[in-house]
């Protein structure tokens, strides 16, 4: 059963190679007679190895993982960690483990008291349970987990059933439990979904606002300097062509100062292609790419930055992906680091504009309308209007990370447009969108990152937190196109604000390499990385135990003992014994042959010639018990003399 | 305050674990453990499919529990207990189950309901586990180890579960129960529980039956050599009348004239006739060996195992007197100073062992009381065996006093293996050391 449970675990978690090996080791115990006489210190050492393994795996998973995921990942590894102990129990002469190997206090006691009896622990069934629970952490949601778990559980229960009830009663109860369990798990999953929905609804009601990516609060109107860190967030690689200048995370259609909202843009699940790693987002053909982007995800969830008009994401190893009609891509379930290749068309394939994409809020309508009027935007063709807007911001505006308090009675945006003419990208993007809308041209507000910094250290583009950017999307020629009106010197301004290359970059690079190695496990799981490190460890352990030369044949009590007795079982004396029992009287229970022989001799039975028997018995004893055994000629003599004695007595009439 | 809080928690935890151990089979316990693990790791149904294991295990347990709501049928129970058990040894007794119903009862097992071993708050607060001072600060404050130790200490009898294959209709079944007596004292049986597992083999249906009983567990005893104290026989006031419960000594010494009050049966008629006046037989005044057995009950904190050893040593001497022509006075201080005499038919030695089975350490007395008690009786004593728990001025004083009074004394000091003692001083005072866990060897070497 342990073997079956291990195979099931391996199948579910992807540790199949290890599982097959472990199951083979465990099941081979019925074929291998050898048992090791392991001492307490051997068990302690094995327990220490398991503890070290656990610690290593825990550190490995806790680094760069949130705690819940780390726990689940460690849980998946547990059978591997506990396996050395179980193997030692199964192949140890004692057949059980002592609880002292798990606890230092008990170990101390065991060392202090030589005749400490110990607390025997049988790990077999708990190991099966652990293996099954570990399999659950793999989160294979096909329903096969339930089937496998139920099958092994029922198998285990068969052994402990109360024999006084008939099998149909037992079967009925098991069937009822299975039905109940299946219904229960469906109910539980549905219950959680309902609860989450209720909680979200309550939360939204309570806060009166929606959460990302449905809204983006800008810093419009905030006084002071915008501060962003220079932490590296993304890494961008392109084989040949320059990377896209902008990577979009989300876009929004409704502005209500100071927040942009994505209204009427629910997320829908995207189904991967057959390889499970390619996600097609639009049916158009890609014109550029792939550009490879590596991004960190908090708790395995988050928005994926992608070039405008992304058609397909390749090599993206996540469980669930969703996108909305405004081009935002969200990972619902994934790892701490994702690395994906984005292929994209020149313009976004987001849904065509609605009336929301031309709405100008009433608070800004006055200022925006006047400038639109000044620029005569409504009288220009769309292309010309866009060019005019671009020129308008290029000529008269400056980038500034510092924003002073706006004048009384105006909005921050109006103040920016009419008075200060200085601001950061959110001002430019918002103003651009609203100006275009005022001219009747559909436009959206987009946020994301600007890609411009080549890292000589990493040989790729890096994107930092202070490369976060906002720009406009404009509907031209049947597609959404990027329009970034922020003066290009914003990059220089940001660069001045923080020193570009720091020790932190090196650290970040190291962290990235580790995370990449660490999260690459999904690609080849155990067979690829850390798993192989365990092999020499197990081999070393096995060799150390083996080389102790404490091999005890499975027991001086089991089948081997039977074989030991079997030595000399072909002695010819046994025929003599049978004949004697027939001719004289049978040997009493536990009576040695020699005593019995003396008894027969003293009885002086006329039919039985006992004169030659003591010498024969001596030979027989040597054959049976002398470690050196009998020489061939002596064996022949034993057989011959026994034969002659038997012939002599078979002729005697009884 | 904190101690009281921990005490309450431990009480509840012990109660729950005891109840679970009774209610659940080992398979059931594993299922509960797996259920809880699944609950811990799989509360989020999106992250793992552990919730599926949880619901299946929960369904199994729920069905088993419902099945186990119907208790096994009521039976009449009787125990056939031996008179005594001995600490550290197996005791075998019979439990007779009588079924009055017309249907046979099958598939039962029986569990003994013994006295609640959970200590009282006072016990928990005042007691100290052996080597407790060596534990770390946290363990000392939490005192969980002390709790476990007290539980084990209060459990006088270990009885396994025994299965009863069948109790025939309107008939009896006898179950031979093997139990290990762990500690001296009185084992109080409160009742007996009949258990029957459900078809899945996870949960047991229980029926508690009242069957109160008591079994006295005598102290552990070791072989001891014969007492060869150099003391002489002493005159025993009250003579043999004290020693041989009824009647006078038959050892004739001489004849003397009748004095008023002499029993008529002592008149030697032949001599009286010859002399013409009443002559009576005079008998030997009694001189014989009478030993004192002094048990030091003033236990230092954490000295419980040594106290048990001391009681076992005293019991070994008490039992060793059997058949010897001597009296033995057991002296110790419990709630009050206590002397119990046995030997030469005065008192049953078993009674002395019973007394020793019940002896408790003296928490609030002074060793001087014991000293006085022994000194008062020194004239009658040929020799004294002192079983001591510590070595200090008071104990030294008692031994020196006895020596000054001319009463030879064998002093045995029971110590822990790692306890530091001044071996030279002990040797000069003639004190023999007995080490915990090696008492038998120590006694054999006397």
Complete DSSP assignment for A343-385: EE-SSB-PPPP-GGGG---HHHHHHHHHHHHHTTGGGS-HHHH
User: How many Å apart are CA A104 and CA A114, to the nearest integer?
Assistant: 16
The tokens of B24 are what? 């659940």
- pLDDT at res. B229: 59
The larger pLDDT score, comparing residue A403 to residue A423, is at A423
- pLDDT at res. B15: 92
The tokens of B121 are what? 């708050």
Q: How does pLDDT run across B220-254, given as a tens digit for each residue? A: 888 887 766 555 555 554 444 444 433 344 556 67
pLDDT at A549 over 70: no
Residue B303's H or E segment, with its range, is: none
Query: CA–CA distance from B243 to each of A256, A317, A579, B235 (Å)?
Result: 112, 97, 69, 12
Which residue in A has a C-alpha nearest to residue B47's C-alpha?
Answer: A139
Q: What is the DSSP letter of A115?
A: T
Q: What is the DSSP letter of A616?
A: H
CB atoms near residue B100 (< 10 Å): 11
- pLDDT at res. A559: 43
Is A162 an interface residue toward B (CB < 8 Å)? yes
Edge-to-edge strands, sheet with A337-344: A279-280, A310-314, A337-344, A288-296, A232-237, A460-464, A453-455
User: How many Å apart are CA A278 and CA A379, to the nearest integer?
Assistant: 45
Nearest to A349 by CA among A409, A297, A307: A307
Q: Closest to B41 (Cβ–Cβ): which among A137, A162, A185?
A: A137
CB atoms near residue A498 (< 10 Å): 15
Rg (CA), chain A: 41
* B47/A188 CB distance under 8 A: no
* A162/B59 CB distance under 8 A: no
- pLDDT at res. A190: 86
Is A333 an interface residue toward B (CB < 8 Å)? yes
Nearest to A138 by CA among A7, A311, A281, A12: A12
Q: How does pLDDT run across A228-285, given as a tens digit for each residue? A: 677 788 889 887 778 888 888 888 888 887 788 888 778 888 888 877 788 888 777 7
* A137/B58 CB distance under 8 A: no
Q: Which site among B32, B45, B70, B144 would you substitute to test the A interface, given the most A Cβ atoms closer than 10 Å to its Cβ?
A: B45
Which residue in A has a C-alpha nearest to residue B57's C-alpha?
Answer: A181
Max distance between CA atoms of chain A, in angstroms, equals: 145
Complete DSSP assignment for B221-279: ----PPP--SPPPEE-TTHHHHHSSSS----EEEEEE--TT--GGGB-HHHHHHHTS-E
Q: What is the dihedral of CA B244, B246, B247, B252, to 10 degrees?
A: -10
The larger pLDDT score, comparing residue A405 to residue A619, is at A619
User: How many Å apart are CA A503 and CA A495, to the nearest integer?
Assistant: 16
Tell me the pTM. 0.60
User: A174: pLDDT confidence band, cut at 50, 70 and 90?
Assistant: very high
- pLDDT at res. A612: 85
Is A149 an interface residue toward B (CB < 8 Å)? yes
Q: Which site among B48, B64, B145, B158 would you substitute to test the A interface, given the most A Cβ atoms closer than 10 Å to its Cβ?
A: B48
- pLDDT at res. A497: 59
Q: How does pLDDT run across A312-370, given as a tens digit for each residue? A: 888 888 888 888 888 888 887 777 788 888 888 877 667 788 888 888 888 888 888 88
Q: Which residues of B touch A71 (CB under 8 A)?
A: 41
Residue A300's H or E segment, with its range, is: none
Nearest to A210 by CA among A155, A170, A267, A144: A267
Query: Is the four-CA dihedral A81, A87, A93, A95 of positive or negative sign?
Result: positive
* B199/A170 CB distance under 8 A: yes
* A72/B63 CB distance under 8 A: no
Residue pair A350/A326 in contact (Cβ under 8 Å)? The answer is yes
Residue B376's H or E segment, with its range, is: helix B367-376
- pLDDT at res. B240: 46
Residue pair B92/B62 in contact (Cβ under 8 Å)? The answer is no
CA distance B200 to chain A (A): 5
- pLDDT at res. B291: 81
Main-chain phi, psi angles of B277, to 5 degrees: -145, 160
Q: Which site among B55, B135, B158 would you substitute to test the A interface, given the most A Cβ atoms closer than 10 Å to its Cβ?
A: B55
* B42/A136 CB distance under 8 A: yes
Residue pair A262/A214 in contact (Cβ under 8 Å)? The answer is yes
Q: Closest to A173 (Cβ–Cβ): which among B45, B50, B63?
A: B63
- pLDDT at res. A82: 87
Q: Which residues of A touch B62 (CB under 8 A)?
A: 180
CA distance B42 to chain A (A): 8
Alpha helices in B90-237 (DSSP H): 121-126, 137-142, 144-154
- pLDDT at res. B69: 92
The yes/no answer to whether this complex scores an ipTM above 0.85 is no
Q: Residue for token digits 């610690």?
A: A55
CA distance A77 to chain B (A): 14
Q: What percent of chain A has pLDDT over 70?
A: 84
Which has the minimum average pLDDT: A33-37, A143-147, A293-297, B400-404?
A33-37
Q: Residue for token digits 């010309």?
A: A384
CA distance A370 to chain B (A): 53
User: How many Å apart are CA B82 and CA B215, to the nearest integer?
Assistant: 8
Is A533 an interface residue toward B (CB < 8 Å)? no
Which residue in A has a C-alpha nearest to residue B60's C-alpha?
Answer: A177
Q: What is the DSSP letter of B432?
A: E
CA distance B36 to chain A (A): 11
Complete DSSP assignment for A443-466: EEEEEEEE--EEETTTTEEEEEGG
Per-residue exposure over B316-348, b if at least 16 CB sit within 10 Å of its own CB, e if not = bbbbbbeeeebbbbbbbbeeebbebbbbbeebe
User: How many Å apart are CA A343 and CA A293, to the nearest integer?
Assistant: 11
Q: Which of residues 176-195 of A touch B (CB under 8 A)?
A: 176-178, 180-182, 184-185, 187-189, 192
* A184/B58 CB distance under 8 A: yes
The gap between the terminal CA atoms of chain B, to the nearest Å, is 49
The tokens of B51 are what? 């919730």
Residue pair B329/B292 in contact (Cβ under 8 Å)? The answer is yes
Which has the minimum average pLDDT: A180-194, A251-265, A547-561, A634-648?
A547-561
Edge-to-edge strands, sheet with A268-270: A268-270, A320-323, A329-333, A302-303
- pLDDT at res. A224: 55
Q: Residue for token digits 């084990």?
A: B152
CB atoms near residue B130 (< 10 Å): 15
Q: Which residues of chain B have pLDDT under 70?
A: 227-253, 283-289, 302, 321-326, 343-347
- pLDDT at res. A396: 81
Q: Which residues of B touch A129 (CB under 8 A)?
A: 30, 33-34, 37
Report helix, strand or coil for A329. strand
Residue pair A245/A453 in contact (Cβ under 8 Å)? The answer is no
pLDDT at A561 over 50: no
Across-strand partners of A250? A447
Residue pair B111/B242 in contact (Cβ under 8 Å)? The answer is no
Residue A333's H or E segment, with its range, is: strand A329-333
Q: How does pLDDT run across B318-366, given as a tens digit for each residue? A: 887 655 566 788 888 877 778 888 766 656 777 888 888 888 888 777 8
- pLDDT at res. B248: 45
Alpha helices in B276-362 (DSSP H): 304-320, 349-358
The tokens of B331 are what? 């002296």
* B56/A178 CB distance under 8 A: yes
* B48/A72 CB distance under 8 A: yes
- pLDDT at res. A228: 65
* A180/B63 CB distance under 8 A: yes
| Residue B260, burial from CB neighbour count under 10 angstroms (0-12, 13-18, 19+) | exposed
Q: Closest to B50 (Cβ–Cβ): which among A136, A170, A173?
A: A136
Q: Closest to A160 (Cβ–Cβ): which among B27, B53, B58?
A: B27
Q: Residue for token digits 């590596």?
A: A294
Q: Which residues of B touch A164 (CB under 8 A)?
A: 106-107
User: How many Å apart are CA A416 and CA A403, to the nearest integer?
Assistant: 9
Q: Which residues of B touch A126 (CB under 8 A)?
A: 30, 33
Nearest to B113 by CA among B157, B144, B71, B150: B157
Query: CA–CA distance from A342 to each of A236, A290, A314 (Å)?
Result: 10, 5, 6
- pLDDT at res. B11: 93
User: How many Å apart are CA A302 and CA A294, to the nearest integer?
Assistant: 13
pLDDT at A455 over 70: yes
A422-423 vs A398-399, strand pairing mode? parallel
Q: What distance lies between CA B153 and its chain's CA centroid?
A: 10
- pLDDT at res. A608: 81
* B51/A189 CB distance under 8 A: yes
CA distance B411 to chain A (A): 28
Nearest to A449 by CA among A250, A156, A627: A250
Task: Work out the mean pLDDT of chain A and round it to a whole number.
Answer: 79
Per-residue exposure over B272-305, b if at least 16 CB sit within 10 Å of its own CB, e if not = beeeeebbbbebeebebbbbbbbbbbbbeebbbb
Q: Which site among B25, B27, B56, B440 would you substitute to test the A interface, given the most A Cβ atoms closer than 10 Å to its Cβ?
A: B56
């Amino acid at each position: 059963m342990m073997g079956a449970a291990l195979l099931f675990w391996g199948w579910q978690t992807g540790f199949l190679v290890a599982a097959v090996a472990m199951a083979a080791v465990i099941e081979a115990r019925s074929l291998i007679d050898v048992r090791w006489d392991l001492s307490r210190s051997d068990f302690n050492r094995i327990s220490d190895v398991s503890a070290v393994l656990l610690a290593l795996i825990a550190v490995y998973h806790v680094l760069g993982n949130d705690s819940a995921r780390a726990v689940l990942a460690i849980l998946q590894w547990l059978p591997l960690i506990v396996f050395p102990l179980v193997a030692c129990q199964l192949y140890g002469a004692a057949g059980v483990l002592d609880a002292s190997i798990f606890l230092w206090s008990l170990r101390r006691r065991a060392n202090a008291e030589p005749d400490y009896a110990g607390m025997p622990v049988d790990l077999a069934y708990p190991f099966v349970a652990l293996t099954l629970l570990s399999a659950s952490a793999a989160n294979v949601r096909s329903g096969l987990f339930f089937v496998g778990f139920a099958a092994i559980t029922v198998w285990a229960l068969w052994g402990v059933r109360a024999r006084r009830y008939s099998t149909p009663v037992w079967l009925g109860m098991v069937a009822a439990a299975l039905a109940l369990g299946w219904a229960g798990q469906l109910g539980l999953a549905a219950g959680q979904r309902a609860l989450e929905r209720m909680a979200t609804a309550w939360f939204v009601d309570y806060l009166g606002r929606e959460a990302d990516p449905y809204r983006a609060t800008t810093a419009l109107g905030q006084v002071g300097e915008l501060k962003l860190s220079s932490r590296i967030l993304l890494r961008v690689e392109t084989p040949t062509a320059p990377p896209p200048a902008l990577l979009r995370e989300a876009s929004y259609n409704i502005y209500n100062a100071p927040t942009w909202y994505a209204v009427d843009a629910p997320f829908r699940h995207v189904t991967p292609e057959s390889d499970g790693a390619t996600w097609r987002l639009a049916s158009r053909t890609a014109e550029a790419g792939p550009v490879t982007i590596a991004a960190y995800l908090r708790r395995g969830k988050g928005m994926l930055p992608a070039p405008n008009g992304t058609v397909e994401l390749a090599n993206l190893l996540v469980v669930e992906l969703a996108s909305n009609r405004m081009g935002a891509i969200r990972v619902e379930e994934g790892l701490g680091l994702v690395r994906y290749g984005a292929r994209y068309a020149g313009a976004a394939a987001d849904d065509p504009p609605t009336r929301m994409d031309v709405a100008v809020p009433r608070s800004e309508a006055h200022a925006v309308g006047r400038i639109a009027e000044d620029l005569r935007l409504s009288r220009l063709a769309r292309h010309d209007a866009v060019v005019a807007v671009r020129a308008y911001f290029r000529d008269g505006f400056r980038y500034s990370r510092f924003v002073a308090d706006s004048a009384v009675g105006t909005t921050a945006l109006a103040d920016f447009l009419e008075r200060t003419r200085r601001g950061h990208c959110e001002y430019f993007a918002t103003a651009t969108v609203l100006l275009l809308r005022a001219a009747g041209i559909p436009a959206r507000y987009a946020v994301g990152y600007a890609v411009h910094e080549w890292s000589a250290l990493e040989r790729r583009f890096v994107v930092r937190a202070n490369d976060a950017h906002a720009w406009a999307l404009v509907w031209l020629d049947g597609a959404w196109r990027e329009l970034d009106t922020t003066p290009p010197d914003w990059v220089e301004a940001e660069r001045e604000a923080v020193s570009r290359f720091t020790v932190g970059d090196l650290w970040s690079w190291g962290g990235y390499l580790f995370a990449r190695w660490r999260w690459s496990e999904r690609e080849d799981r155990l067979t690829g990385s850390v798993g192989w490190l365990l092999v020499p460890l197990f081999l070393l352990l096995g060799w150390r135990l083996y080389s102790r030369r404490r091999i005890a044949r499975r027991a001086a009590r089991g089948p081997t003992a039977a074989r030991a007795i079997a030595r000399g079982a072909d002695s010819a004396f046994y025929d003599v014994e049978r004949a004697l029992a027939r001719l004289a009287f049978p040997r009493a229970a536990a009576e040695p042959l020699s005593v019995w022989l003396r008894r027969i001799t003293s009885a002086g039975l006329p039919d039985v010639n006992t004169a030659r028997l003591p010498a024969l018995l001596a030979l027989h004893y040597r054959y049976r018990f002398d470690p050196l055994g009998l020489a061939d000629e002596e064996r022949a003599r034993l057989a011959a003399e026994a034969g002659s004695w038997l012939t002599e007595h078979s002729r005697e009439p009884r | 305050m904190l101690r009281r809080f921990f005490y309450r928690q431990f009480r509840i935890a012990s109660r729950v674990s005891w109840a679970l151990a009774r209610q659940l089979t080992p398979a059931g316990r594993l299922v509960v453990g797996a259920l809880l693990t699944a609950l811990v790791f799989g509360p989020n149904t999106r992250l793992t499919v552990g919730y599926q294991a949880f619901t299946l295990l929960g369904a199994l347990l729920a069905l088993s529990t419902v099945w186990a709501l119907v208790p096994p049928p009521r039976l009449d129970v009787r125990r056939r207990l031996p008179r005594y058990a001995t600490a550290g040894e197996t005791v075998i007794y019979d439990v007779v189950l009588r079924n009055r119903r017309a249907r046979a009862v099958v598939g039962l097992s029986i569990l003994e309901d013994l006295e609640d071993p959970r200590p009282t708050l006072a016990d928990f607060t005042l007691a100290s586990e052996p080597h407790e001072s060596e534990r770390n600060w946290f363990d000392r404050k939490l005192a969980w180890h002390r709790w476990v130790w007290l539980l084990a200490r209060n459990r006088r009898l270990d009885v396994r579960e025994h299965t009863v294959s069948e109790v025939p209709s309107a008939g009896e079944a006898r179950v031979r129960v093997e139990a290990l007596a762990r500690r001296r004292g009185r084992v109080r049986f409160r009742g007996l529980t009949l258990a029957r597992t459900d078809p899945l083999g996870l949960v047991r249906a229980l029926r508690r039956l009242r069957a109160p009983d008591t079994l006295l567990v005598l102290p552990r005893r070791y072989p001891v050599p014969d007492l060869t104290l150099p003391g002489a026989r002493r005159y025993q006031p009250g003579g043999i009348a004290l020693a041989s419960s009824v009647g006078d000594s038959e050892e004739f010494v001489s004849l003397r004239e009748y004095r008023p009050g002499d029993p008529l049966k002592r008149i030697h008629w032949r001599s009286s006739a010859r002399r013409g006046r009443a002559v009576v037989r005079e008998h030997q005044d009694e001189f014989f060996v009478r030993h004192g057995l002094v048990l030091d009950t003033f236990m230092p904190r954490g000295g419980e195992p040594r106290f048990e050893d001391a009681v076992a040593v005293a019991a070994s001497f008490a039992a060793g007197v059997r058949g010897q022509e001597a009296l033995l006075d057991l002296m110790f201080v419990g709630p009050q100073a206590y002397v119990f005499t046995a030997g030469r038919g005065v008192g049953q030695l078993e009674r002395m062992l019973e007394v020793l089975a019940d002896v408790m350490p003296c928490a609030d007395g002074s060793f001087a009381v014991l000293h006085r008690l022994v000194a008062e009786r020194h004239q009658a004593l040929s020799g004294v065996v002192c079983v001591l728990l510590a070595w200090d001025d008071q104990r030294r004083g008692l031994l020196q006093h006895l020596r000054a009074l001319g009463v030879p004394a064998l002093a045995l000091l029971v110590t822990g293996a790692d306890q530091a003692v001044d071996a030279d001083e002990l040797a000069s005072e003639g004190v023999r050391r007995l080490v915990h866990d090696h008492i038998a060897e120590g006694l054999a070497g006397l």
